[in-house]
Amino acid sequence: MIGRLRGVLVSKSPPWLLVDVNGVGYELEAPMSTFYDLPEAGREVVLLTHHVQKEDSVALYGFLRESERRLFREVQKVTGIGAKIALAILSGASVDDFARLVQASDVTALTRIPGIGKKTAERIVVELRDRAADFSGGVPGAAPVAPGAHDPLAEAGIALQQLGYKPAEVARMLKTAEPGARAEDIIRKALQSVLRS
C-alpha cells in the first residue's frame, strides 16, 4: 500500500495531480483543500496518500495534511458516501468547519456540498458526531501556491464542475470573482459562499 509520496509536482489540474517520484509519474486525485496550498509545478511536494484497489480499478488520493486524509477515510464509513463525495466534502469545507457543522447537527449546511442530500447529511451527523472532534490536528501545509493558470476564472469554473456543481450554479458562484485573482482563491471563495448561503 502506498502511504506517502515525495517527488516533483509535474502538473496540477483539479482534481488531478501528477507527481514524479524518481522517474515514475503518480497520478492522484486531491481535494481543493490540498490544491490551495500546493507549490508551483516543478517544485518538490510531499503528499500523504490513500490507495484504493478494486477488481476493476486502482485509485490514489493525495493530501497535504493528515487531518484531511483522516476525514477522507472516516467519512467514507458513512453508508452511501464514497471517494467522490469525500473529496467534495474536503473541497467545500475545511476539516474544522466540517467538524463544527457535524457537531452542531447543521444538516442544511451539509446539503450544500455536492452529492449530499438531506438523508445523507442526517446519516453523517448521526454516525460522525461523536468522532467529529478528532478530525482536526494535522501537519501544517506546504508553501502557498504561485499563480499558474492563463485563465484563472476558466480554471476555477472547470474545477467547480468537476466537483459536482452544475454549470448554472458555477456561473452564479463565479459572479463575485475578483479580477486578477488566482484560480485557487476564486474556488475557495466560491465554495465558502455556497456553504454560508
Task: Check which CATH number belongs to the domain holding 47 and give it.
Answer: 2.40.50.140
Q: Which of 63, 85, 109 is the last residue of a domain?
A: 63
Res. 71: pLDDT tops 50: yes
Query: In total, how many domains does the chain have?
Result: 3
Check whether residue 116 and residue 77 sit in a common domain. yes
Alpha helices in 95-151 (DSSP H): 95-103, 107-110, 118-128
* Domain of 57, in residue numbers: 4-63
What average pLDDT does this structure show over 172-182?
Answer: 80
Domain holding 192: CATH number? 1.10.8.10
**How far, in Å, CA of 111 to CA of 55, rounded?**
31
pTM of the shown model: 0.67
Q: Do 13 and 46 touch, CB atoms closer than 8 A?
A: no
Reported as type and span, the H/E element at residue 26 is strand 24-29
pLDDT value, residue 33: 86
**How far, in Å, CA of 87 to CA of 32, rounded?**
8
Q: Do 137 and 68 touch, CB atoms closer than 8 A?
A: no
pLDDT value, residue 139: 32
Q: Do 187 and 152 touch, CB atoms closer than 8 A?
A: no
